[in-house]
Amino acid sequence: MTCGCGENKTRMMALLSAAAGLPLSVLLALAQSPSAVKPAFDVASIKPNKATTCVQFLCGVTTLPKSGRLIVQYYSLLSLVRTAYGVRVDDIVGGPPWRDDDKFDVEGKADGAVSDDQTLYLMLQGLLADRFKLAVHHETKEVPVYALILGKNGPKLQNAAEIGPPSTGPRGGSGGRGGLGVGRLQLTRTEDTRQITGRATMPEFATFLSRISGRSLIESGRPVLNETDLSGVFDIKLEWIPEPTFPGELDPGLISAIQSKLDLKFEDRKGTGEVLVIDHAEKPSEN
């Protein structure tokens, strides 16, 4: 005689799925994977912001990993989702009619320091799910991409194993003062120039370029696909004068620097990308 426990558990999860408005596969994955549980703020505050315009220094995101704090001022639900999930506004679809217009001030405090900004953004995801009843899912769509390919004369790159210790930016270290870092690469901004320094494989370099074609290094920009067929770790040193561009596009000055200094070039192509779909959201109660 068998108890049918597995069948009963699946039926129960199906009922919970219908009640929560989430796909059954998502609930089953969450139930079976402890690592899927996101870190959470110890205390959090959400208040409507009735201001009609954004006042300088009174809107935006402040991350303080060492004190475990995230402060967001005058942000819409759309901007909160963009920040929490690291996607471009153009890659978020769906949501309630008020997603763009209603503004909120959000502050979260963890129980102690956290390792990095990304942990705070994961906590923000959980806060949105808890207080805004946010439910989202990813879908694929056809998007414009850059293909990173070899130039006519081959790459002007040196394998990092042949050149000794890693290079650093002008202020030294990974993500030095005034710089933003992803992995082993760092983007440093000065008043007149931009610099990329560090070491990376070609797939890592392509991913880095995808990120900096967004509005910031926490957002995904236009995807850059590595099609160089180059293996190994390379020393990357680039400096250029920035030129006007649109969000989601690479700086033309950076493209020129990559072509002239590394003998790599870009081709415009179509590829597959992801959009984040807002399935459900509610206005939070004030506290």
For 218-260, the pLDDT digits (tens) are 455 678 899 999 998 999 999 999 888 776 678 899 999 999 9
What does the alpha-carbon distance between residue 207 and residue 125 come to, in Å, rounded to a whole number? 23
Q: For the chain, how are helix, strand and coil distributed in percent, rounded to 5?
A: 30, 30, 40
More confident residue, 18 or 143: 143
Residue with tokens 């959000």: 106
pTM to 2 decimal places: 0.58
What does the alpha-carbon distance between residue 145 and residue 203 come to, in Å, rounded to a whole number? 14
Q: What pLDDT does residue 163 have? A: 46
The stretch 68-74 carries a mean pLDDT of: 96
Question: Binning pLDDT at 50, 70 and 90, where does residue 74 land?
Answer: very high
DSSP state of 278: E
Q: How far is CA 249 from the centre of its chain?
A: 16
Question: Binning pLDDT at 50, 70 and 90, where does residue 89 land?
Answer: confident
Model confidence over 264-273: pLDDT tens digits?
999 999 888 7
Task: Give all strands of the β-sheet with 185-189 in edge-to-edge order.
Answer: 179-182, 185-189, 194-200, 234-240
Would you tell me how many other CB atoms lie within 10 Å of the CB of residue 112?
A: 9
Q: What pLDDT does residue 216 have? A: 52
Q: Which two tokens stand for residue 146?
A: 């850059």
With beta carbons less than 8 A apart as the criterion, state whether 238 and 261 touch: yes
What does the alpha-carbon distance between residue 197 and residue 54 come to, in Å, rounded to a whole number? 35
Lowest mean pLDDT: which of 43-47, 94-98, 134-138, 199-203?
Answer: 199-203
Q: What pLDDT does residue 57 have? A: 72
Q: What pLDDT does residue 4 have? A: 44
H/E stretch holding 13 reads helix 5-20
Q: Which two tokens stand for residue 256?
A: 């020129």
Torsion angle of alpha carbons 264, 211, 58, 121, nearest 10°? -160
Question: Largest Cα–Cα distance in the chain?
Answer: 77
- Mean pLDDT estimate for the chain: 80
Q: What pLDDT does residue 10 have? A: 45
The stretch 36-44 carries a mean pLDDT of: 86
Residue with tokens 């963009």: 82
Q: What pLDDT does residue 207 have? A: 86
Would you tell me how many other CB atoms lie within 10 Å of the CB of residue 39?
A: 15
With beta carbons less than 8 A apart as the criterion, state whether 241 and 192 touch: yes
Q: What pLDDT does residue 62 have? A: 93
More confident residue, 157 or 95: 95
With beta carbons less than 8 A apart as the criterion, state whether 277 and 22 touch: no
Q: What pLDDT does residue 21 have? A: 46
Q: Helix or strand or coil: residue 234?
A: strand
Q: What pLDDT does residue 26 have? A: 45
Q: Which two tokens stand for residue 222?
A: 């236009």
Question: Binning pLDDT at 50, 70 and 90, where does residue 153 land?
Answer: confident
Q: What pLDDT does residue 8 have? A: 46
With beta carbons less than 8 A apart as the criterion, state whether 76 and 281 touch: no
Would you tell me how many other CB atoms lie within 10 Å of the CB of residue 240?
A: 19
